[in-house]
């Protein structure tokens, strides 16, 4: 699919925020009571997150999360070589986070801090859309000096989550270290609100180092300023060798070397929660890339991952779901 991946290395390293996801189901009225924004991600402090949590009326589901982490766990569950780089607190949430990485086939490369482990309050409304309120905690303290090319020595691809743009020095150092290690850089834009708030930095500083650019419709529109999806993908492909437009229930489009591949979605209507859908889509896609599969196959694996995670609450696909996904993989 992509001649810069020669098969010598197959490792995928994710750099991002080590966060715990706190998932709750509430109605639109509850959401409007705390925010004017539906969907996307809003940065908050710990007091805000705790205050909202005290008001919820539904059961709270606690699972490890963070965009890059979700993706890397997906790679690990696909039996890929997966590593996660981040910073966690020396607390029970941090212990759970690290233990979960190991249980999912991921090598943790974590720095620790006295600051509490970060968390995301994800409010899921009846339409299955999630609105995220993020307290970064220890994750925000990951420093440029803690990133070195050595962390990426076995990586074919280094995945950088879009949320990292809020720490510009860290983002810049991570890009430098990845390139020094000879890895390709993949970036998932993560949230349209992130793109809107950091557009100049993304375009001027980040994009020149990006080889693989992944976005959904809203993120692509915010990044390119174009509402036409074909035009937005074409603009993205001028910025990166591989450009991906995720279209949710309508599938996806993958642009490589001037060729656009249309990928159909997985059929089915039993959608419970879209938390992690884009992250797990990226897991399947990047895994397919390092395995040397053609674009359509990469997209099909990605679609299967994205679909299965939408059938459950949170970003943790159960074993039966992974079995169904693995049945879509080409015979080795």
Contact residues for 214 (Cβ-Cβ < 8 A; gap 6+):
186, 187, 188, 189, 244, 246, 278, 282, 285
With bands split at pLDDT 50, 70 and 90, how would you rate the model's confidence at 8?
confident
For residue 1, pLDDT over 70 is answered with no
How many whole angstroms separate alpha carbon 72 and alpha carbon 13?
7
Pairing assessment for the beta strands 184-188 and 212-216 based on DSSP bridges: parallel
What's the Cα-to-Cα distance from 49 to each of 17, 91, 122, 131, 147, rounded to whole Å?
Answer: 17, 18, 10, 13, 29
Q: Does the residue 25 lie in any domain?
A: no
Tell me, yes or no, whether 26 lies in a domain: no
Residue 70 forms part of a structural domain: yes
Within a domain: 299: yes
The pLDDT assigned to 43 comes to 86
Strands, DSSP E only, in the chain?
Answer: 11-15, 19-25, 41-43, 61-65, 81-89, 106-113, 117-124, 130-137, 155-161, 184-188, 212-216, 242-246, 252-256, 259-263
Total count of domains within the chain: 1
pLDDT at 206: 97
Among all chains, which residue has been given the structure tokens 């090598």?
107
**In this prediction, what percent of the chain has a pLDDT beyond 70?**
99
**Domain annotation covers residue 297:** yes
Q: Which CATH number does the domain housing residue 174 bear?
A: 3.40.1190.20
pLDDT digits (tens, 9 = 90+) for 175-196: 999 999 999 999 999 789 899 9
Q: How far apart are CA 285 and CA 133, in angstroms?
A: 27
Q: How far apart are CA 131 and CA 254, in angstroms?
A: 27
In this structure, the strands spanning 130-137 and 155-161 are unpaired
pTM of the model: 0.90
Residue 318 lies in a domain: yes
pLDDT digits (tens, 9 = 90+) for 264-309: 988 776 788 777 889 999 999 999 999 999 999 999 999 999 999 9
Q: Write out pLDDT tens, residues 86-137.
A: 999 999 999 999 999 999 999 999 999 999 999 999 899 998 888 889 899 9
Residue 279's domain comprises 11-19+65-118+137-326
Say if residue 319 is exposed, middle or buried (CB neighbours under 10 Å; 0-12, 13-18, 19+). exposed
């Amino acid at each position: 699919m992509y001649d810069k991946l020669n098969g010598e290395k197959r490792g995928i390293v994710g750099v991002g925020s080590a966060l715990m996801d706190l998932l709750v189901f509430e109605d639109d009225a509850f959401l409007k009571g705390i925010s004017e924004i539906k969907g996307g991600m809003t940065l908050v402090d710990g007091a805000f997150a705790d205050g909202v949590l005290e008001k919820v009326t539904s059961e709270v589901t606690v699972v490890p999360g963070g965009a890059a982490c979700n993706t890397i766990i997906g790679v690990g569950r696909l039996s890929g070589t997966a590593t996660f780089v981040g910073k966690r607190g020396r607390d029970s949430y941090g212990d759970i986070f690290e233990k979960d990485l190991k249980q999912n086939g991921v090598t943790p490369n974590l720095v620790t801090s006295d600051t509490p482990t970060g968390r995301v309050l994800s409010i899921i409304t009846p339409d299955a859309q999630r609105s995220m309120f993020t307290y970064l905690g220890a994750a925000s303290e990951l420093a440029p000096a803690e990133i070195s090319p050595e962390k990426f020595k076995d990586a074919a691809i280094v995945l950088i989550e879009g949320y990292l743009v809020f720490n510009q020095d860290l983002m810049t150092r991570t890009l430098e270290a990845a390139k020094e290690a000879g890895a390709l850089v993949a970036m998932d834009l993560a949230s349209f609100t992130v793109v809107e708030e950091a557009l100049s930095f993304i375009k001027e500083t980040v994009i020149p180092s990006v080889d693989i650019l992944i976005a959904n419709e809203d993120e692509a529109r915010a990044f390119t300023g174009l509402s036409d999806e074909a035009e937005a993908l074409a603009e993205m492909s001028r910025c990166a060798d591989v450009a991906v437009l995720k279209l949710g229930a309508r599938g996806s489009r993958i642009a490589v070397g001037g060729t656009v591949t249309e990928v159909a979605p997985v059929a089915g209507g039993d959608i419970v929660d879209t938390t992690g859908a884009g992250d797990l889509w990226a897991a399947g896609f990047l895994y397919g890339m390092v395995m040397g599969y053609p674009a359509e196959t990469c997209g099909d694996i990605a679609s299967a991952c994205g679909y299965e995670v939408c059938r459950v609450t949170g970003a943790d696909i159960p074993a039966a779901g992974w079995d169904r996904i693995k049945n879509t993989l080409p015979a080795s």
